Chains A and B, each alone.
Chain A
């Protein structure tokens, strides 16, 4: 998911601290409590007007992991079939965990 297409309303752009951009479905990103607040808060913050969120504390590797998780969750939410495991490499586990808390996911 490299940065190619311009952002539409359907999508949001997430930018990691090391400059990578992830353009993902707004719906998927809204699975994060933090992002949901950010985009839907009563006061129009810069993020919600521009559709770009710059995470100064999150590295691309982790952000990618998180994006994957959102899609994974969106896919299996309310699913009745058996749900496969979501793989997280142990070396990223702790950082992913902390980011997850930050993003309220």
Chain B
């Protein structure tokens, strides 16, 4: 009663309470009442008791300082009761567990019954002996008693039987039998309820869980060895997954959540970690077969299971990436073999080869993208592993940059006809991902420039938009610097169209208009992959006059600019009169020059190779190619004597007056862009190397200008990191550049320390 009020004046006297005689006899009589009561409770006849009476007894004993004795007495009583119960109800049936595992559940049930009864009684007793709570709690005391007299009984092997039965039951269930989950659940709950002496940990851990974990490890060790031998990996993994599910359910149904991580770890270790390699490298349906056959579901399962164990993901990644490398190598050698085959047959390395290579790589990439997305749940580390595997094998093919550029060239020239913007974009995007894997991006740039200039100058590009789309993608990948020249090429093309507009106006005003239409494309020499030295040739007079007119026009508008004519790059429309028919021929400027020579030759006469060479002034290589295209190609405007594929210097040529074709307009192509020959390749490589020198020097100077003074190793690292976007520079190459810069007095070695460079402004 809390709100007693004491400030009022005292009326009357407070009498001392009646003192009860705390005599020994009093304790004896009160205790015997209580002891009787407890026995009655144990006999489940509590309804005959008066709570008030029993409670009062307990209360009085406690307030008369007999709590200690009361406590001990109660303890003794309960202990005695438990002893006799265990002896009469549990011990006789312990034997059952030994004879038949499936009947073992009887033992569990008996222990369970005793436990339930005990707990009910305990609750009632602790209700009565509320006041004893000043001592250790009655209820806890009861639990300890049960633990020590029943479960861990010294006299009877109850503990070991309990464990044995529990474990046997679980093993039975693992083997597929139905068991009484309720009984086990009750037992584990009971074990959880009882605490160790420290009052915190339940005896579940020491009396059951440890043993459980041990036997489970043993079980799964045997089981996994057995399964791995009997089943193929997909089936094995399905089984493992089932086991993991089962164990998880087991824990949530009748063990405890706390056991789950432990048991899960065991299954993972025994069934996954120990068999990683075996499963992956299995002959039939190992990782490789799964990848080959695109078994997404199985791969997904493998990924999920392997990710559970340390190193599992890593092993899987290396497995995947070695498979990719294998595929890549196969693609590479395939291409190389057919290349060798073709060279042996004398067929030049076709564009088809490049296309096939890129297409195969793209297909492989597509395949692994699907696998990554649907089986590896877009795991970042897998993405990296896959990408680096691609990077490695792509860069193993030293022609990769050229092949890719050719692939794009082909797409932009032919394949994009009639395709929607989205489709085009998709293909370009894919190519860009491959491009990302290239380490020699500058080599690619060189080829791309070459191919782009061909497309632009010969008007072969199908869609300006697609071209620009590709360039902007490259720009995103490699930055402004990479594409600035490519964009410059586009600008030149646009400006040239404008210039031609004004040139036509200009022509209207001057007298010496050339007798044919002249189209000039003015190119900025630094943007285009054209050698600064034009191929020499002797132009017919008409041509020469026309160029002079244009030069006059151009210098009048842009003072100080120098025009260099590249005759070899252009083409000419000729109207040729044959015996039966007139044809319009579209030929290269060089071919036109050659053909025009025949205007002055009497009919039926022929010109020798040497005459043509002298008249045109063309270098032998170009001349031969030109002659080949007009005399040995599909359209034979000239007749060569003797007839053969190759041009010899002793050959003679005659105008083919009998030439006739169905269509009026004929386009005679010079030999188209091909995969480069060995010599050309070497040239390109040299050019690239030369470029790289400049780029590397520029990078060194940039770094040094910034730092003023830096030691050798740091300088190399910085330069490499700057250049990596374009190509992978070798440290030795950078070292040479540094030495060159020292020679030219951009840098010097620090006087005291030879490893440090200083920047000289």
Contacts and interface: CB of A to CB of B under 8 A. Distances in A.
Interface of A: 33-34, 37-38, 41-49, 53-57, 66, 69, 85-91, 93-98, 100, 102, 104-105
Contacts of A93: 4, 14
B565 interface: no
Interface stretch (B119-127, B257-265, B274-282, B679-687): B119-127
Contacts of A45: 46-47, 49-51
A94 B49 CA distance: 30
A45 B4 CA distance: 33
Interface in B93-131: 120-121, 123-124, 127-128, 130
Interface string B4-29: 11001011111111000000000000
Contacts of A104: 130
B47 A46 contact: yes
A103 B121 CA distance: 22
A43 B48 CA distance: 10
A55 B120 CA distance: 26
B41 A90 contact: no
Nearest to A98: B17
11 contacts: A37-B128, A41-B51, A42-B124, A43-B41, A44-B47, A87-B5, A88-B5, A91-B14, A96-B1, A97-B1, A105-B1
B15 A69 contact: no
B482 interface: no
Interface of B: 1, 3-5, 8, 10-17, 41, 46-53, 55-56, 59, 120-121, 123-124, 127-128, 130
B3 A34 contact: no
Interface of A is mostly: helix
Given A41-B124, A42-B120, A91-B14, A86 B3 contact: yes
B325 to A, nearest CB: 72
The 4 lowest CB-CB distance pairs between A and B, nearest first, are A43-B46, A100-B1, A45-B51, A43-B124
A97 B124 CA distance: 26
A99 B169 CA distance: 55
Given A53-B52, A88-B4, 14 more contacts: A34-B130, A37-B55, A37-B128, A41-B124, A41-B127, A42-B123, A45-B49, A46-B47, A66-B1, A87-B5, A89-B12, A91-B12, A94-B14, A96-B1
A37 B127 contact: yes
A41 B129 CA distance: 12
Contacts of B11: 89-91
Nearest to A85: B5
B173 to A, nearest CB: 34
A16 B1 CA distance: 19
Contacts of B124: 41-43
Contact of B52 (A55, A90, A91): A55
A56 B11 CA distance: 28
Contacts of A37: 51, 55, 127-128, 130
B417 to A, nearest CB: 85
B50 A46 contact: yes
Q: Indicate the member of A47, A53, A105 with the most B CB atoms within 10 Å.
A: A47
Contacts of B41: 43
A43 B50 CA distance: 11
B50 to A, nearest CB: 5
A56 B5 contact: no
Nearest to B55: A34
A96 B716 CA distance: 94
Given A41-B123, A69-B1, A90 B46 contact: no
Nearest to B20: A57
Nearest to A86: B3
A95 B1 CA distance: 11
Contacts of A38: 51-52, 55
